[in-house]
Amino acid sequence: MITAVDTNVLLALLYDDEYSDTAESELRRAYQDGRVTITSIVYAELAADGHFETASELNRFLEDLSIRLVEPSQEALLEAGQQVKRYTDRRPNGLQCPSCGEKRTVRCEQCDERLIPRQHIAADFVIGGRVPADADALLSFDTGFYRSYFSELSVFPQ
């Protein structure tokens, strides 16, 4: 079995946050089931975080965790692109309060275009799209998002 890992799981380990215990136990489970991998996007997101000053430091971190860097297949990239399109087609215009649900439209003061929030970017879809094509499961703390766009995906923790 191949388990792909999302950036947020590795950041939980690096920063010992409220998810770090779960991240550690889920990674242990994944190692027992087979190989653990990341994509180049996760690698780049880890590099962008600022925790590692050099590629060799980041590579050593991944080696210590026995995590392999694997490029997504063309099939995975196609699936990612199709899901980005689905996401942008159904994304609402404007903003919505997460507490009461009130919807507001906000316009740019300079050009008067309607502003919309960018919640997820193509990178998130490449991470999710890779799994059905190139891996068996995904380890991520963003389970709701991945289950919404990749319903056949096994996402952990449950």
CATH 2.60.120.10 fits domain 2-91+121-156: no
Stretch 68-93: mean pLDDT = 85
pLDDT above 90 for 24: yes
pTM of the predicted model, to two decimals?
Answer: 0.79
Q: Where are the domains of the chain?
A: 2-91+121-156
Q: What is the pLDDT of residues 95-109, one digit of tens each?
A: 766 667 777 888 889
pLDDT above 90 for 125: no
Most confident range (mean pLDDT) of 47-51, 110-114, 151-155 is 47-51
pLDDT above 80 for 92: no
| Rounded Cα distance, 158 and 148, in Å | 14
Stretch 132-139: mean pLDDT = 90
pLDDT attached to residue 72: 87
pLDDT attached to residue 67: 97
pLDDT above 90 for 63: yes
Residue 74: phi and psi, rounded to 5, are: -60, -35
